[in-house]
Structure 1
Amino acid sequence: MELDAPPRLAAHLRAVHDVAAELVAWCGERHPSLAVDAEAVLFGAATHDIGKALHPAELSGPGAEHEEAGYALLRERGVEERLARFARTHASWDGAGVDDLLVSLADKVWKAKRVPGLEQRVVDAIAAASGQEKWQVFIDLDDVCDRLAAGADERLAFQSAYPITGMESTL
């Protein structure tokens, strides 16, 4: 799909996608009994903030208008619900499934932001699916989040190299 998306948005979506890919791989290796829809998680990570193309002020400031706008934009372009939903679920974890939680986690940890409430929900989902003790899942998740957070400076520099506005981009 073609949008006049800010280059920084495209860089952000790429960074979050790359972290989500690492989380999906980690789940497959460490928690193979966890039912993760890798295609959905990767699509969700790559499009979760697409509504910021319509609300570019939210690229550098707070706001949630991009969530419903992004969902509507994807649906209007024929993206099925199971994939478009991430545009509106990435910031709200109530009742979220593991796929939604992984997109949300990728959206935080890419920049080394650790959110205990979100991480606890991921731990709970993995422990419930795997039968592992929560403390063991917590240690595993903490390790992968620490590893991913260690690359945050490089990802932040990559994103910052792109302007918020001023250039046309195909996304």
Structure 2
Amino acid sequence: MMTKKEIRDIILKKRLDLEQEKYEKYSQRIVEKLRNQIKKMEFDSIALYYPISKEVDVLPLIEELLKTQKKVYLPKVLGKQMKMGRVKRFDRLIKSKFNIPEPIDDEFSSKIDLYIIPAIAYDFNGYRIGYGGGYYDRYFIQSPKSYLIGVVFNFQLISSFPTHSNDLKVDFIITEKNEIEIK
């Protein structure tokens, strides 16, 4: 079995090598499925992410959500911790030390109804491999888990990898080809 680092290196390279046209097409397909999935759900607040390094492009969905009554949150890194900061407009974001746009305002919440979570890879049990910083894992140790949806491209789904007791597990995974409910 490959290590998480080996998986991370292989999949990240594959994702970065994804042709722009496919990247856009697959992202649109995933966002469409995501839109349909969240329409069925009752929620007032939702946390997403700002896509980097060819993560699934959820920006169109964020724009739509900002026009509704829903509260929209994006990650903000403070030292070793990650918090979810409220976003009301895209022009209220500023690049972090990781060069990722984050909310300027310090209106944080850890009681969020729904999370959309990117990854380098997910396995079929819902476990996630991120960039290795542990930000999401630490965040959910301190914050109540609600409903977590993982979004990745189909080639980022892996049958299994070594997991740890505090590894993050999502409830649902959406790719351009699959929708997987984790039991």
Q: TM-score, normalised by structure 2?
A: 0.27
More helix by share: 1
